């Protein structure tokens, strides 16, 4: 799609939210709601992501509004940063474009008892060890190999499958969203081609915006919440960002082909064929959900194995066990997923399918799905930024349940396409520029670093400020990168 600015209507609701009225286009069933301040809105208007917010409002069974988080940018079908809920009792649909190709792409944060002073003298050696031991890059396999039968078990059981193989501990499961396993997974619906792509990729980082970063807690904004998560000033942590790799991509690709004729079959009119969908209760809808849940479980296992390898690398460098190093999981959250959840819609309590495409769950204190350790503060919300500036840890707030189906943003959001970022990097050494900022970076190619350079992203601090001011999630701690590996 040629890059065009959004020129449609936007009505201010307050300092950090805007409305695209459903009167904008005939066929919109609900308004669009966008979370942004004035500065971010200027960036958001630069592409057609806001048109995609309006497009999503056409989906049958959509509830309340088509939502966009402040990291919104153009994507496939839904914008990245898009959220919507559909009610199966009202003919609600499921749409792969509302989940994305990288099913259950997400992040997990690992704490340690190391400080910046402990890591600084061995920072380069640590990053090199991570780069040697953790598989990165497009299509690259790793040391964990699973037969088709084992993969089916893994996709059905999630991280619990790895617990039985000595590659996870119970606290890892307790601190993973949905305990690392979506119910309703149907591994037999995952194609042989997807299994072939996934047999050796569980425990690999991949490419694109996926990364493993060594970070330092740069500042603490909520002492109570930070203490509950075991975070403190100058502490070293590890942030891991990856998803379901080639298996998840193939599941999405297979579903898009399978669903191609579904809108016409069920009398669904769409403004964009990338929003291809099917009623949740239809055979086609159920087939996608079963395969999507299986791929989501694969992704949680992938991040678990990536964390396991990171722990082993720290053990090598510091000559202590990961338990002695205090390398326990703070939390793992999904970014690209659809989940069946209970929410208040108007004056009714409903079970709805919440699509989060580049968005993070942000459940508040006391929510039954918030882990017991965080029940008093809210679910951890982990928002990575770019590799030159910062990432953030927040906790979900009641406002997310009132306004965004328990959701917040998932990152900073791109402002440059990968092509534009590469063009802007000609003649530059991104790794040297990062080194001048105190960040050791290793990647499979110059292009990989160029595509993900800091200038390709919005300033995550500005994005997080909107989330905090909108009361979707509350700031807890800012994390600064000191080492990064990428594909």
Task: Write the CA distances from 223 to 85, 104, 327, integer angstroms.
Answer: 34, 30, 20
Q: Are strands 473-486 and 440-443 parallel, antiparallel or unpaired?
A: parallel
- Alpha helices by DSSP H, 418-486: 418-424, 430-436, 446-451, 460-469
Task: Tell the burial category of 45 from Cβ atoms under 10 Å away from its Cβ (0-12, 13-18, 19+).
Answer: middle
| 3-state DSSP helix/strand/coil % of the chain, to nearest 5 | 35, 25, 40
Q: Are 295 and 251 in contact (CB under 8 A)?
A: yes
Helix axis angle, 283-318 to 123-133, nearest 10° = 140
Q: Which token pair is 29?
A: 């069933």
Are 68 and 53 in contact by the 8 Å Cβ rule? The answer is yes
Question: Among residues 406, 328, 370, which one has the least CA distance to residue 178?
Answer: 370
* Distance in angstroms (rounded) separating the CA atoms of residues 487 and 449: 9
Rounded distance between C-alpha atoms, residue 365 and residue 402, angstroms: 14
- Strand spans (E) along 306-435: 329-334, 336-345, 348-357, 359-361, 380-383, 391-396, 407-409
Whether 331 and 394 have beta carbons less than 8 Å apart is answered as: no
Radius of gyration from C-alpha coordinates of the chain: 21
Token pair, residue 208, equals: 């694109």
Residues catalogued as catalytic = 410
DSSP state, 180? Answer: G
């Amino acid at each position: 799609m040629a890059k065009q600015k959004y020129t449609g209507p936007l009505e201010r609701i307050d300092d950090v939210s805007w409305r695209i009225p459903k009167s904008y286009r005939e066929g919109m069933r609900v308004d669009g709601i966008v979370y942004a301040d004035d500065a971010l809105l200027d960036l958001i208007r630069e592409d057609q992501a806001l048109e995609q917010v309006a497009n999503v409002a056409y989906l049958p069974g959509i509830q309340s509004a088509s939502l966009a988080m402040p990291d919104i940018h153009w994507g496939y079908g839904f914008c990245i940063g898009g959220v919507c809920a559909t009610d199966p009792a009202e003919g609600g649909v499921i749409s792969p474009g509302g989940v994305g190709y990288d099913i259950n792409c997400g992040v997990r944060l690992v704490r340690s008892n190391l400080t910046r002073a402990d890591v600084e003298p061995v920072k380069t050696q640590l990053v090199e060890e991570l780069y040697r031991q953790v598989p990165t890059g497009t299509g690259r396999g790793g040391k964990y190999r699973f037969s088709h039968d084992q993969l089916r078990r893994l996709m059905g059981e999630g991280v619990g499958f790895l617990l039985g193989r000595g590659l996870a501990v119970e606290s890892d499961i307790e601190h993973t969203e949905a305990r690392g396993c979506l119910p309703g997974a149907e591994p037999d619906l995952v194609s042989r081609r997807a299994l072939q792509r996934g047999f050796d990729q569980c425990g690999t980082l991949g490419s694109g915006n996926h990364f493993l970063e060594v970070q330092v807690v740069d500042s603490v904004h909520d002492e109570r919440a930070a203490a509950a998560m075991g975070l403190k000033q100058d502490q070293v942590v590890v942030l891991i960002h990856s998803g379901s790799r080639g298996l998840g991509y193939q599941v999405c690709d297979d579903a898009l082909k399978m669903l191609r004729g579904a809108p016409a079959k069920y009398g669904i009119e769409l403004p964009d064929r990338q929003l291809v969908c099917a009623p949740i209760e239809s055979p086609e809808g159920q087939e996608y959900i079963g395969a999507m849940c299986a791929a989501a479980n694969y992704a949680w296992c992938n991040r678990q194995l990536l964390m396991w390898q990171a722990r082993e690398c720290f053990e090598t460098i510091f000559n202590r066990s990961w338990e002695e190093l205090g390398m326990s999981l703070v939390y793992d959250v999904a970014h690209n997923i659809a989940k069946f959840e209970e929410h208040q819609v108007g004056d009714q309590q409903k079970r709805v399918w919440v699509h989060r495409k580049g968005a993070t769950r942000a459940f508040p204190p006391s929510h039954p799905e918030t882990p017991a350790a965080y029940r008093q503060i809210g679910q951890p919300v982990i928002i990575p930024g770019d590799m030159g500036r910062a990432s953030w840890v927040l906790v979900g707030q009641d406002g997310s349940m009132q306004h965004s189906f328990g959701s917040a943003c998932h990152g900073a959001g791109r402002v440059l396409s990968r092509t534009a970022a590469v063009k802007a990097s000609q003649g530059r050494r991104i790794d040297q520029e990062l080194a001048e900022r105190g960040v050791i970076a290793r990647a499979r190619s110059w292009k990989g670093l160029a595509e993900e350079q800091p200038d390709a992203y919005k300033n995550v601090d500005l994005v997080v400020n909107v989330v905090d001011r909108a009361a979707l999630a509350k700031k807890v701690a800012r994390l600064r990168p000191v080492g990064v590996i990428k594909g």
